Amino acid sequence: MSVGGLAVGLEVAPADRGKRLSPWVYALVAVAALVVLSVVRLLSGATDLTSAGTVQAALTAAVPLAMAGLAGLWAERAGVVNIGLEGMMVLGTFGAGYAGYQWGPWAGVVFGLLLGVVGGLLHAVATVTFGVDHIISGVAINLLAPGAALFLSKLYFSDAPGGGQKQSPRISDAPKVTIPGLSSLLADIEAKRWFFVSDLAGVLRGLTTEVSLLTLLAVLVIVGTAWVLWRTPFGLRLRSCGESPAAAESLGVNVYKYKYLALVASGAFAGLGGAFLAVSSGQYRDGQTGGRGFIGLAAMIFGNWRPGGLATGAGLFGYTDAMALRGSSAVHALLLLLGIALVVVAVIQYRSGHQLLSGVAAALGVLFGYWYFSTDEVPPELVGAAPYVVTLLVLGLAAQRLRPPRHAGEPYRRGQGV
C-alpha cells in the first residue's frame, strides 16, 4: 500500500500483475461461486444461503458500503487517502435525517450528499492546501463529524415530533420496484430446492423484487464512475494525479484542482452512503454508521481500487451482514466458504511459486474447515468481524495482486515534484 510512511516491507511484495481477465472469466467465477454455495447449502441445509430474502437484505446492506468504497476510490485515485469516510458518512446520515423527515427521502438524499461534500472539502483544504498528512486529517474529521452531527441533532431533532436528542423523526422510504411476473415465477423455482437452479432463482428473485430506487441509483453511480474515471479525459487526468502528480503537473494538469474535485466527489459519495443508510432504515440515529466507512475502505482494497471489484467486495460484505441477521446456521456455513476460498488462494499462490504464502493460506483454510466441522454455530458477535478479517487475509495472502494508485497518501506541493 502506498499510504505515506515507511517503505519498509514493500519490496517483499512486488506487483506481479496478471493479464487483464476477460468478462467471461468473471462470469465463470460467479457461476463457480454459486455452485459452491449450492453445494454448501445441500451439505449444511442452510437454505438461507441463497434465498431471495438473504439476497435482498444483502443488497440493502451492500449499498452504503459500496458508496463508501466508491468515495474511497475517488479520493485514492486522485492520490488522497481518505480515512475520514466514516465521518463524512455520519454527516450524510444527519443530512438525510434533517431534510428527509421534512421534505421526503429524495431531499434527504440530496442533503446527505451535500453535507458529505462539506466533509470532503474540509479534507481537501487540510490535505491539499495546507499539506496536512492525509491520515491525520482523516482522523480529525472522524473526531469532528460525529460531534458536529450530534450537536446539530440535539439542536434540531430534540423538539421535532417523533425525534429525540440522538435520533431524527421518521423518514419515509424511497419507492421500490419489482419486475412484475418474474418474481413469482422465480419464487416457484426457488421453492423446488433444486441444485443450482433454485439457488440461481433465489438470487435472481432477490435482485429483482422490491428493489429500492436508491439501490438502482447506486448501481448507476458505480457504472458511471467506471466510465468517467476510465473512459474520459477528466477521469484520466484525475487518475494521473494519483499515479504520478509530477507527470500530470508537467503536462499542465492542475493537480490541486483535480484533487479538490476528487475529494468533493469522495465526500458526495460518502454522504450518499450515509443518506442511503438513514433513509433505508427510516431515520437518523447517532452512531448509525457503525464503522461502515471503514468497511467501505476494506471493500475498496478488496476490489483492488476498481469499481467492479469494490462492488463485489461490498456485495460480499453486505452478504455476511445479511447472513448475520438471518440466524446462525447460515453463518456457520460461511466458515466452510471461507475455508474453501483460502484453499483456492493456496493453490493459486503455490502455482505462482509462493510456497510459504501458499502454506499459510492452506493452514488457515484447514483451520476454518476444522472450525466448521467441529462446531454447530458461530458466535453471532464474531460475524461482524468477517469483512475486516477477509480484508486482512487478502492483504496478507494476495497483496502482490493489488495495485493501489502509486502516489496515494503522499503529500504533494506544486513545483516540487521531480
Binding residues among 251-280 for another protein as defined by CB under 8 A: 251-253
The C-alpha atoms of residue 275 and residue 314 are separated, in whole angstroms, by 17
* Residue (149 or 186) nearer to another protein, CB: 149
Question: Beta strand pairing status for 176-177 and 211-212?
Answer: antiparallel
Question: Which three cell numbers, joined as nine digits, stand for 48?
Answer: 438461507
Contact 199, 192 (CB under 8 A): no
Site map for another protein, 154-193, x if CB under 8 A?
xx--------------------------------------
Taking Cα atoms as reference points, which of 275, 232, 222 lies closest to residue 73?
222
Contact 327, 300 (CB under 8 A): no
Q: Candidates 11, 18, 192, 374: give the one binding another protein (CB under 8 A).
A: 11
Q: Candidates 80, 124, 211, 239: give the one binding another protein (CB under 8 A).
A: 239
With residue 299 as reference, give the H or E element that holds it.
helix 292-302
362 binds another protein (CB under 8 A): no
The C-alpha atoms of residue 242 and residue 409 are separated, in whole angstroms, by 9
Site map for another protein, 81-120, x if CB under 8 A?
x-x-------------------------------------
* Residue (107 or 139) nearer to another protein, CB: 139
236 binds another protein (CB under 8 A): yes
* Residue (203 or 297) nearer to another protein, CB: 297
Site map for another protein, 299-338, x if CB under 8 A?
--x-------------------------------------
26 binds another protein (CB under 8 A): no
Question: Which three cell numbers, joined as nine digits, stand for 30?
Answer: 460467479
User: Dihedral of the CA atoms 144, 146, 150, 151 (nearest 10)?
Assistant: 10
Q: Which region, judged by CB under 8 A, interacts with another protein, from 46-54, 96-104, 201-209, 297-305?
A: 297-305
Q: Which residues between 57 and 86 bind another protein (CB under 8 A)?
A: 81, 83
Q: Which region, judged by CB under 8 A, interacts with another protein, from 11-19, 38-46, 102-110, 345-353?
A: 11-19
Q: Which region, judged by CB under 8 A, interacts with another protein, from 34-42, 204-212, 248-256, 365-373?
A: 248-256
Q: Alpha carbon of 182 to those of 85, 190, 191, 208, 215: distances in Å? A: 38, 12, 14, 8, 19
Q: Candidates 136, 182, 185, 347: give the one binding another protein (CB under 8 A).
A: 136
382 binds another protein (CB under 8 A): yes
Give helix then strand counts, H and E, for the chain: 17, 2
Q: How many CB atoms lie within 10 A of CB 393?
A: 18
The C-alpha atoms of residue 102 and residue 163 are separated, in whole angstroms, by 12
End-to-end CA gap in the chain: 21
Q: Candidates 172, 178, 184, 232: give the one binding another protein (CB under 8 A).
A: 232
* Residue (152 or 187) nearer to another protein, CB: 152
* Residue (174 or 402) nearer to another protein, CB: 402
